[in-house]
Structures are given as structure tokens and as C-alpha cells.
Amino acid sequence: MTTITTTKFEFKNQTGVYSGKVRDVYFIKDDLLVMVASDRISAFDVILPKGIPYKGAILNQIASRFLKATEDICPNWLLGTPAPNVAVGKRCEPYRVEMVIRGYLTGHAWRTYKTGERILCGVRMPDGMKEHDKFPQPIITPATKADEGHDEDISREEILAQNIVPQKAYETMERYTRELFERGTQMAAEKGLILVDTKYEFGTLDGEVILMDEIHTPDSSRYFYADGYADRQKAGEAQKQLSKEFVREWLIENNFQGKEGQRIPEMSEEWVNTISERYIELYERIIGEKFDKSKAQVTPKQLQADTQAYLNSLS
């Protein structure tokens, strides 16, 4: 399986291109985006040296399912998915804030909590909690959206004081975030999973707040298996996760957290395939269908042709 880690497409009426940590975004005229989910994988805001087979197709297909399943909650950017790892949608002006919402004391929240800190992004976390405990209510812990380097925690008060997002729009983003998380939680529960935490990105188009990018994928979200959660928590055992957190944990075990002077550990083919299978497992659990590897094996040439044909149909 050949991974797609870089793209260099030329579409009709293309006006620009931007390469992020995982996605390559092509701008078409001034109103459309072509978003290619590559097989790159990042952690601690660093792109790791090897691509993960099928990862781009998995992310794109999960995101498109959830975007379509939440259209009744808020408008989103997606128009169509002409190729397994390609999404085409409306171009919005992005707000430079990620809306992170956490239902459980896990990951970054836990790493903060165990140092003795109880305030995260201006939100107080209760005393007496253990790792992976459920919060009484989900908490929103925003982060500034960085083009390069690390995203930074920020509070609601700082966002409004610095006018990073206008107050009315931010209040709408908060409401959408809670409603989207509730829907995602319900959909995960139907598949025997717990949606632990996730992030949403929003923009504006014609004065309206629009949901952008991906949602509820293993890159933007963390899932636990519901079966056995309470027993594992009671026994103080690690939770069984379906997310990218296991990649972060592997990096931490190998003395890498994206800090200056640290070297990315060697990724063996066995480890790369393990990551790929974990992504496939999450797809099959959350979507409830077998992942068809043959349909995801599209050459860059075919990907560009299918995408251009779709763009032609929109004009």
C-alpha cells in the first residue's frame, strides 16, 4: 500500500494551496476548498516521518459521516467527497480558536491536573478526581490555532478580551460545541464507545458561524470502549482507548514530546501497520461497517481526476 504523504495537484481555477500538519488545502476561485486528507500523522504538533496506510481515507470518511449527521445542529462547510480522502466544501473565514470539549479527565487535562493545577483554560476542575474520571459536566477548554508550532491553551475571557472571536459568534460556537458533543456522545454510545473529548473548528461565511474541518475522527477525538469502563476505573486500570493517544503515549515512552532537542523515535514497519489497524478498528466501530481497503486505494492521478470532475459539476 502506497501512502499519500504529499500532494502537488493543479486544479482548474486554483488560486492557492496550503499544507497543514495532515491536510493539503487547495483554494478554488474565492469560494471553494479542496481538502485532501493525507496519510501523514502528527503528534505534539510535529509531523512524524512515516505515513500511515489508509489513514487519510479513514479520517475523511468518518468526518463526512458526522458532518452529514449533524447538519440539523449547525451549518457546515462540506459539499461532497469525490474521492476516498478528498472533501470539497465552502470556503469560510476561520476563527483562530479550536473549541476543545472534554467529558473526562484524560490526556492534556490529566497531565495538567496531576501537577496540582485545577484551572485549565479558565475552567476549574473538581478536586478528588482520578485519571479518566467523568467530569460532572463537559468542560470547554479552547486553544489558539497556530499555523506552525504548538497550539496554546486560552480562556474564554482572554478570547473575548483580545477580540479573537466576537462575543456573539463565540457564544454561538460554545452552544454548537456542546450540542455537537452531545450528538457525538449519543452516536458513540450506540456503537459501544464513549466519546471522551474532541475539538471543533468554526469559521464565518456571510455573517453565519459555520462548522469547518473534520469532526469526531481519531485525530480530533478520543474514544474509550464503554464495555468494562466502570470496572477498569474502579480497579485503577488503564482504559481501552480508540484514539491517537496511543501514538502520543508511545512517543512519551520514547522520550519525545515535541520539545527542542528531542529526536523523533524510529517508526518500524510493524509499528506503522499497528497504527493503521487501530485507525481501521475505530472506523469499523464508530461507523458500524467493514472498512473496504480496495476502495481506499486510489492513485494520486485518479484522485485528481475524480476531484476535478466533481468541481466541473459544481460550475
pLDDT band at residue 66 using 50, 70 and 90 as cut-offs: very high
- Residues 198-221 have a mean pLDDT of 94
- The residue written with cell numbers 475552567 in the block is 123
Q: How far is it, in rounded angstroms, from Cα 121 to Cα 110?
A: 13
Average pLDDT, the chain: 94
Range among 72-86, 146-160, 284-298 with highest mean pLDDT value: 72-86
Q: What angle do CA 301, 305, 308 make, to 5 degrees?
A: 140
The pLDDT of residue 145 is above 80: no
Q: What is the separation, in whole angstroms, between the first and last Cα of the chain?
A: 34
> Does 93-243 carry CATH code 2.40.30.30?
no
Q: How far is it, in rounded angstroms, from Cα 183 to Cα 241?
A: 20
Instruction: Answer yes or no: are the C-beta atoms of 298 and 54 closer than 8 Å.
Output: no
pLDDT tens readout for residues 147-203: 555 679 999 999 999 999 999 999 999 999 999 999 999 999 999 999 999 999 999
- Residues 202-207 have a mean pLDDT of 96
pLDDT band at residue 2 using 50, 70 and 90 as cut-offs: confident
pLDDT of residue 149: 53
Radius of gyration (Cα) for the chain, nearest Å?
Answer: 19
pLDDT of residue 282: 84
Maximum distance among all Cα pairs of the chain, rounded to whole angstroms: 59
Give Cα separations from 293 to 81, 113, 290, 297 (angstroms).
Answer: 17, 40, 9, 7
- pLDDT higher at 295 or 210: 210
pLDDT tens readout for residues 7-18: 999 999 999 999
Q: How far is it, in rounded angstroms, from Cα 251 to Cα 230?
A: 28
- Residues 237-247 have a mean pLDDT of 86
Q: How far is it, in rounded angstroms, from Cα 229 to Cα 234?
A: 9
Instruction: Answer yes or no: are the C-beta atoms of 242 and 281 closer than 8 Å.
Output: yes
